[in-house]
Amino acid sequence: MKKLINDPLRVVDDMLEGFVAAHSRQVRRIPGTNVIVRKDAPVKGKVGIVSGGGSGHEPAHAGYVGKGMLDAAVCGEVFTSPTPDQILSAIQAVDGGNGVLLIIKNYTGDVMNFEMAAELAEAEGIRIAKVIVNDDVAVEDSTFTTGRRGIAGTVFVHKIAGALAERGASLEEVEAAAKKAIQRVRSMGVAISPCIVPAAGTPGFVLGENEMEVGIGIHGEPGIEKVSVQPAEHVADGLLARIVEDMKLDQGDQVAVMINGLGATPLMELYIVHKRVAERLAEKQIRIHETFVGEYMTSLEMAGCSISLLKLDDELIDLLRSPADTVAFKTC
Amino acid sequence: MKKLINDPLRVVDDMLEGFVAAHSRQVRRIPGTNVIVRKDAPVKGKVGIVSGGGSGHEPAHAGYVGKGMLDAAVCGEVFTSPTPDQILSAIQAVDGGNGVLLIIKNYTGDVMNFEMAAELAEAEGIRIAKVIVNDDVAVEDSTFTTGRRGIAGTVFVHKIAGALAERGASLEEVEAAAKKAIQRVRSMGVAISPCIVPAAGTPGFVLGENEMEVGIGIHGEPGIEKVSVQPAEHVADGLLARIVEDMKLDQGDQVAVMINGLGATPLMELYIVHKRVAERLAEKQIRIHETFVGEYMTSLEMAGCSISLLKLDDELIDLLRSPADTVAFKTC
């Protein structure tokens, strides 16, 4: 295992120290926790937005803390749900008096722990709403999940909900916008090489020399099939076809596209994938309004990518384009 | 070779098509070339800024085209200098009547081809200034270079020169600011795994199972030594010591820091490296004004990182913080 780390059991703590040192004008860490909050939290009167999950998906989720997106990110150990007490600390820190929305990726552990934290917060008189993101169309049930998994499309949900909350909308309104985004976002990914969880020290799965896994999860959970590595055009076609079919996209529809690198895939390759995605959508007369190409939700040093599509309407276009100023997502 | 590509000989063209498809509101490609320019180029009266070099370093340099940074990026084949005719096309496209600054990374091929293009442009009556970035303190001469190599610190030079040009400064003023940034920026890197140039199909260099190369170049040029993989703290200490010594940094100095991922290194590890860098600089009473952690100048899927420090004064702080709106670098 070759990694630029100190102690495999201390990677999350070291990372968060580095993160806060780098971005101390924008964020702070709640002492004694792995919770990163906006520097100015709680913002009085604003609905607070909390997300999080296992670490190893950077820049998710701490990179999305800031104006126009999240108020707090709760960072679990690598690929491990954060505990309810940590989530509760985040909720308490960002509650500005008008309630807190929890954006949860659909993994059994995450859902359970966020729900326990929600109950504890409600017992303290804090109003809570919860949404669960399940954008991954690859498989219905998986290693850590009942139902579909939540992957990179979650970042769109952060942006939509965060933009509306920033405008002073109510908890019900912000929750409704987040649910609308969830209903309209779909993703699917492929891996060509695995990653190593530091504390484990060995790859989470094995691929042959010329093999890739279609439908992989962001923790290396099995996908649909292992196949020979294909040209980028075929990979893009395969992922896109499943997404478009599942969303029932039709000509005249408008979308946002995210080509997300899983960690070790060069930006060059992500753009090569996007070339085909843009061509295919143009053929189908589906209009791309906004495109995001880069690393938004990674799996440590896994190589591969996911494609996410968000079906837009005027409200979502407006929210997607409204200002955001976080470490990893800026709309000037 | 596992890559998300179509044809190893067509990667740059495919990438640029994908790039322009993704970012057509901000940039365009000059037809028949591998030159990416600002959508609104030439900006009348503004000094034009052109950079570029071999591809494979994404987001450098096309990701830095836009308001407040570059007017054009000339994209060579992978790890190969762009040709003079392509550079000339870029110069012609961005000349707004007040001259064009060329920001060149110090590689023999790049310097030769940019200089030839400069002569051709001057023969057409376009005023040209040139600066050569040589921020890598690792080695004095190298595989493709006489003198020190230009690496990730180049991004600071783009930002400083671009900010001043955007304010309407003269060619002489923009050139002077770029030279000042070059005099004040130093970098050094380390690799823990190599990358594969698509057209070659095999790794550019070999490292043992527990080996890393200190002082590596961004094309895999040899560094100072191969050593056993060390904890991130030792890696950071080693790189930082050489940089600080070379810059003659002293207590009370102010710097910007860039922790640059070479391609396959998780953001988590870059923040772990930064934690130590921030601690060490604090011990030395050197104040960090701005921190950049991420992939700014990569080497395809090489794993490793570089550290860059830019010594600041009030002018450079102001220019570094002034607005930039490019694909890969935004200051809101």
pLDDT tens figures, B184-234: 999 999 999 999 999 999 998 899 999 999 999 999 888 899 999 999 999
Work out the number of other CB atoms within 10 angstroms of the CB of residue A257: 22
Q: What are the chain A neighbours of B233 within 8 Å (beta carbons)? A: 6
From residue B299, give the alpha-carbon distance in Å to each of B8, B55, B69, B110, B208: 16, 9, 22, 17, 19
Q: Which of A272, A290, A322 to mutate to probe the B interface, most B CBs <10 Å?
A: A272
| A192 contacts in chain B (CB < 8 Å) | 2-4
- CB contact (8 A) between residue A58 and residue B268: yes
**What is the reported pLDDT for B68?**
98
**Encoded tokens for A81:** 């749900």
B9 Cβ under 8 Å from any chain A Cβ: no
Taking CA A294 as the corner, what is the angle to CA B149 and CA A235, rounded to the nearest 5 degrees?
A: 115
Tell whether B19 is within 8 A of chain A (Cβ): yes
Cα of A64 to nearest chain B Cα, Å:
14
- Has residue A1 got a pLDDT over 90? no
CATH number of A184-331: 3.30.1180.20
Residue A144: pLDDT band (50, 70, 90) is confident
- Calculate mean pLDDT across residues A314-327: 98
**Distance (Å) from the C-alpha of residue B14 to the closest C-alpha of chain A?**
5
Which of B23, B57, B61, B158 is catalytic? The answer is B57
Most B CBs within 10 Å, among A202, A268, A332, to test the B interface = A268
Nearest chain B residue to A304 by CA: give it. Answer: B4
**Residues in chain B closer than 8 A to A56 (CB atoms):** 266, 268
Per the CB < 8 A criterion, the answer to whether A40 and A17 are in contact is no
CA A213 to chain CA mean position, Å: 20
A178-213 tens-digit pLDDT = 999 999 999 999 999 999 999 999 998 899 999 999
Inter-chain CB proximity A301 and B17 less than 8 Å: no
**pLDDT of A48:** 98
Q: Is A233 on the interface with B (CB under 8 A)?
A: yes
CB contact under 8 A, A11 and B272: yes
The partner residues of A288 in beta bridges, in order of sequence, read: A255
Nearest-Cα distance to chain B for A94, in Å, is 24
Nearest to B58 among A268, A278, A332 (CB): A268
Which member of A4, A6, A229 has the closest CB to residue B2? A229
Query: What tens digit of pLDDT does each residue of A6-28 get?
Result: 999 999 999 999 999 999 999 99
Q: How far is B239 from chain A (nearest CA, A)?
A: 13
Residues of B in contact with A63 (CB under 8 A): 267
- What is each CA distance from B49 to A49, A181, B71, B171, in whole angstroms? 41, 40, 5, 10
* CATH 3.40.50.10440, chain A: domain bounds: 11-183
What value does the mean pLDDT take over residues A303-310?
A: 98
- Which one of B2, B23, B272 has the shortest CB-CB distance to A4? B272
Cβ distance A266 to B193 less than 8 Å, yes or no, reads no
pLDDT score of B63: 98
Q: Which residues of B fall within a CB distance of 8 Å from A3?
A: 192, 269
Shortest Cα distance from B250 to chain A (angstroms)? 20
The distance of B244 to chain A (nearest Cα, Å) reads 19
Share of chain A above pLDDT 70, in %: 100
A328: closest chain B residue by CA: B294
- Is the pLDDT score of A83 beyond 90? yes
User: Beta-carbon neighbour count of residue A40 at 10 Å?
Assistant: 14
Cα–Cα distances in angstroms (integers) from residue B260 to residues A200, A215, B88, B273, in the given order: 26, 30, 30, 10
Q: Is A219 a catalytic residue?
A: yes
Q: Is B224 helix (H, G, I), strand (E, B) or coil?
A: coil
| pLDDT at position A57 | 98
Closest CA to A304 of B2, B97, B220, B219: B2
Say if the Cβ atoms of A233 and B291 lie within 8 Å. Answer: no
Residue B20, chain A, CB below 8 Å: the answer is no
Residue in chain A lying closest to B281 (CA): A21
Whether A301 and B266 lie within 8 Å, measured CB to CB: yes
In tens, the pLDDT along B31-57 reads 999 999 999 999 999 999 999 999 999
pLDDT value of residue B234:
98
Which secondary structure element, helix H or strand E, spans residue A132, and what is its range? Answer: strand A128-133
Among A61, A158, A219, A274, the active-site one is A219
% of chain A at pLDDT higher than 90: 95
Specify the CATH architecture of the domain B11-183: 3-Layer(aba) Sandwich (3.40)
Chain A residues with CB-CB distance to B302 below 8 A: none
B23 assigned to active site: no
Return the H-helix or E-strand segment holding A91: helix A84-94
ipTM at complex level = 0.98
Residue A241 is predicted with a pLDDT of: 97
Tens digits of pLDDT across chain B (332 residues): 899 999 999 999 999 999 999 999 999 999 999 999 999 999 999 999 999 999 999 999 999 999 999 999 999 999 999 999 999 999 999 999 999 999 999 999 999 999 999 999 999 999 999 999 999 999 988 888 889 999 999 999 999 999 999 999 999 999 999 999 999 999 999 999 999 999 999 998 899 999 999 999 999 888 899 999 999 999 999 999 999 999 999 999 999 999 999 999 999 999 999 999 999 999 999 999 999 999 999 999 999 999 999 999 999 999 999 999 999 999 98
Residue A53 forms contact with B (CB below 8 Å) = no
Partner B contacted by A59 (CB < 8 A) = yes
- Using a CB–CB cutoff of 8 Å, tell me whether B14 touches chain A: yes
Out of B2, B58, B293, name the one closest to residue A303 (CB): B2
Per-residue confidence (pLDDT) for residue B208, from 0 to 100: 93
What is the radius of gyration, based on Cα positions, of chain B?
A: 19
Question: Is the pLDDT assigned to residue A320 strictly greater than 90?
Answer: yes
How close is the nearest chain B Cα to the Cα of A126, in Å? 33
**Alpha-carbon distance A269 to nearest alpha carbon in chain B (angstroms):** 5
Q: Is the pLDDT of residue A143 over 90?
A: no
- Contacts B275 to A, Cβ<8 Å: 14-15, 17-18, 21
What digits encode the pLDDT tens for the residues A118-140? 999 999 999 999 999 999 999 98
> What does the alpha-carbon distance between residue B284 and residue B263 come to, in Å, rounded to a whole number?
30
The answer to whether B184 faces chain A, any CB pair under 8 Å, is no
Q: Average pLDDT of A301-306?
A: 98
First to last CA, chain A: 39
Residue B178's pLDDT is: 98
**What is the residue type of B200?**
A
* pLDDT, mean of residues A76-97: 98
d(CA B227, CA A324): 43
Residues in a beta bridge with A191:
A213, A304
Size of interface A-B (CB pairs under 8 A): 181
Residue intervals in chain B for CATH 3.30.1180.20: 184-331
- According to the model, what pLDDT value does residue B175 have? 98
Q: Give the residue from chain A lying closest to B304, CA to CA.
A: A4
Portion 94-153 of A in contact with B at CB < 8 A: none
Using the predicted structure, report yes or no on whether residue A71 has a pLDDT greater than 90: yes
A330 touches chain B (CB under 8 A): yes
Confidence check: pLDDT of A145 > 90: no
pLDDT of B238 reads: 97
Distance CA A20, CA A75 (A): 13
